[in-house]
C-alpha cells in the first residue's frame, strides 16, 4: 500500500499563514516581528517521506504494535513526535485502508461523541472540525458571516467537497452544543447521513444523566442498524480499554510540561494527536516519545518563558495561530484546558463496570462544556490545572461569535483575579491572520508585566 505522504504535498493554503510555524522562537520579539515569526512557513509536513509504519486495521487491538520498532527508530530521525508532523497523510492512509477492507468511516464533530461506540461497531472515528480560513467564503454563501469560524470552515469543506475524510464518511455523528452548529447540521444533513446526539444542557438536573444515557443507547442502536453489526459488551469494553490507553498516554505526555524548565513546547504537545483515535502506530509513538523526553535536556535560550494556561475554544488542526503567537512572544503554553487539549482526556471510563454503556455515559457526561448551565466543573478544572502546571497567567481564546465561551469570560476572569491571583488576557479572533500583530503586542505587554513583577526564578528557565 502506498503512503499518502508520497502524494503531492498539500498546498500552502491548507495551513494557516502558509505553513506550520516553528515550534519555538526566541522570547522578547516585538509586535509585528512576533506575528511575522509565527507565520513564517516551513516545508510542508506532507512532503514526500516514507511512512513510519503501516496502519493496523483492528479498531480495538491493545496489544503491542509492530510500529514500536519504527517509532523507536524515529527517535534518531527527528524524534517519535515527528510522526505527527505527517498526521493528516497518516490518518488518510489509515482511513483509506480501513475503507478498502469494508470498515465504515464515521465523522465526529465534538468531544461528546464517544469514539468507543464507533470503534466497537467496527468503524473508524474521524474528527471533521475545520481549521482553514480558505473554506469560509464558500460557507458564507449559505451561513451568516457573523458565525464562528470553526462552524463556517467545517461547512465550507462540506460545500466544496475538499475534505477527503468527510467525502468517504458513511455517517456523521453531530451534537446539540451551540445553536450555530445545530442549524448548520440541518443544512449538511440534506445530503449526508447524520445522527444528532442531544446533549443535556443542565448537568445538575436529576433527569439529565438518564436523558444522556438514552441518547447514547440510541446512537448504539443506530450504528448497529446502519452497519449491520452488534455492539456487544465485550466489544465495547475492548474499545474502552483502547481509548483509556490513548488517554493515559496523552495525559502522561501533557504532564511533561509540568517540568520547569520545560523540555518541550505547547505546540509540540498540541501536534501530538491525530484526527483518528486508536491508530497503533500513534500509540507506539507516544510510548517512544515519553522515553525520549525523559532524556531530553531543558529548552533554554537565556530567557525566562512565561507559563501560560490556555483556555477557551478548541484549537483544531490548521487554526494554531494564537498558540504560535504566544510561544513566539516568549510564552510557553503549559496546559490547554479546551476540547483539543486536556479537557477530554482527564477522565477515563471504568473498564470493570457491569454496564459499559452506562460507564461510557458517565465519563462523557462530565465534560465541562460552555453550553452547560451552570458550568462550574470548568472552573474546578481550571483551578486544578493552574496549580498542577504552575501557570503564571491565564489566556482565554474566543472565536468570534462563540457566544457561550464569550459569556463565560466573566466567570473565568473572576476566577483568575480573585482565586488564582493570576493575570488574565482575553483574545477574540477568527481564522484570519490580519490581527496577528495586534495580538502579539497584547501578549508581549502581558508577559512584560509578569516579568517585571515575578521573582527571577518563577515561570520558565532562568
Residues 6+ apart with CB under 8 A from 138: 156, 159, 160
Please tell me the predicted confidence (pLDDT) of residue 62. 36
CA angle 289, 292, 296 (to 5 degrees): 125
Please tell me the predicted confidence (pLDDT) of residue 17. 34
pLDDT means per 10 residues, the chain with 462 residues, are: 34 34 37 42 34 38 42 54 94 98 98 98 98 98 98 98 98 96 98 97 97 98 98 98 98 97 95 96 96 91 90 98 98 98 98 97 98 97 98 98 97 98 98 98 98 62 36
Please tell me the predicted confidence (pLDDT) of residue 81. 87
Please tell me the predicted confidence (pLDDT) of residue 146. 96
Please tell me the predicted confidence (pLDDT) of residue 77. 60
Q: How far apart are CA 165 and CA 313, in angstroms?
A: 23
Amino acid at each position: 500500500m502506498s503512503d499518502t505522504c508520497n502524494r503531492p504535498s498539500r498546498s500552502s493554503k491548507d495551513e494557516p499563514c502558509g505553513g506550520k510555524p516553528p515550534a519555538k522562537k526566541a522570547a522578547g520579539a516585538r509586535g509585528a516581528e512576533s506575528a511575522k515569526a509565527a507565520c513564517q512557513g516551513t516545508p510542508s509536513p506532507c512532503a514526500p517521506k516514507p511512512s513510519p509504519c503501516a496502519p493496523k486495521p483492528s479498531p480495538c487491538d491493545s496489544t503491542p504494535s509492530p510500529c514500536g520498532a519504527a517509532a523507536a527508530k524515529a527517535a534518531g530521525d527527528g524524534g517519535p513526535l515527528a510522526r505527527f508532523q505527517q498526521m493528516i497523510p497518516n490518518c488518510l492512509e489509515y482511513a483509506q485502508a480501513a475503507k478498502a477492507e469494508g470498515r465504515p468511516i464515521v465523522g465526529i464533530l465534538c468531544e461528546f461523541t464517544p469514539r468507543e461506540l464507533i470503534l466497537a461497531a467496527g468503524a473508524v472515528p474521524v474528527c471533521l472540525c475545520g481549521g482553514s480560513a480558505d473554506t469560509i467564503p464558500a460557507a458564507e454563501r449559505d451561513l451568516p458571516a457573523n458565525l464562528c469560524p470553526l462552524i463556517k470552515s467545517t461547512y465550507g469543506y462540506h460545500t466544496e467537497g475538499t475534505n477527503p475524510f468527510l467525502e468517504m464518511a458513511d455517517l456523521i455523528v453531530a451534537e446539540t452544543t451551540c445553536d450555530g452548529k445545530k442549524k448548520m447540521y440541518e443544512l449538511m444533513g440534506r445530503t449526508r447521513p447524520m445522527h444528532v446526539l442531544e446533549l443535556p444542557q443542565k448537568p445538575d438536573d436529576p433527569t439529565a444523566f438518564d436523558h444522556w444515557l438514552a441518547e447514547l443507547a440510541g446512537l448504539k442502536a443506530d450504528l448497529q442498524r446502519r452497519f449491520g453489526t452488534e455492539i456487544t459488551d465485550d466489544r465495547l469494553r475492548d474499545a474502552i480499554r483502547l481509548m483509556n490507553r490513548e488517554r493515559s498516554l496523552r495525559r502522561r505526555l501533557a504532564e511533561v510540561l509540568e517540568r520547569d524548565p520545560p523540555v518541550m513546547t505547547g505546540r509540540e504537545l498540541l501536534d501530538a494527536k491525530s484526527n483518528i483515535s486508536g491508530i497503533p502506530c500513534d500509540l507506539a509513538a507516544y510510548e517512544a516519545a515519553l522515553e525520549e523526553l525523559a532524556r531530553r535536556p531543558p529548552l533554554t535560550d537565556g530567557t525566562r518563558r512565561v507559563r501560560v494556561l490556555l483556555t477557551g475554544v478548541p484549537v483544531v488542526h490548521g487554526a494554531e495561530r494564537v498558540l504560535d503567537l504566544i510561544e513566539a512572544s516568549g510564552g510557553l503554553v503549559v496546559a490547554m484546558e479546551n476540547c483539543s487539549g486536556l479537557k477530554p482526556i482527564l477522565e477515563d471510563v471504568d473498564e470493570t463496570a457491569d454496564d459499559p454503556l452506562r460507564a461510557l455515559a458517565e465519563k462523557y457526561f462530565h465534560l465541562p462544556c460552555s453550553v452547560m448551565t451552570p458550568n462550574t466543573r470548568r472552573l474546578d478544572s481550571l483551578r486544578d490545572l493552574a496549580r498542577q502546571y504552575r501557570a503564571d497567567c491565564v489566556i482565554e481564546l474566543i472565536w468570534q461569535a462563540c457566544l457561550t465561551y464569550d459569556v463565560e469570560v466573566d466567570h473565568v476572569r473572576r476566577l483568575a483575579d480573585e482565586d488564582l491571583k493570576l493575570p488574565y488576557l482575553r483574545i477574540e479572533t477568527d481564522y484570519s491572520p490580519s490581527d496577528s500583530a495586534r495580538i502579539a503586542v497584547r501578549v508581549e505587554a502581558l508577559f512584560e508585566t509578569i516579568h517585571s513583577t515575578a521573582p527571577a526564578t518563577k515561570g520558565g528557565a532562568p
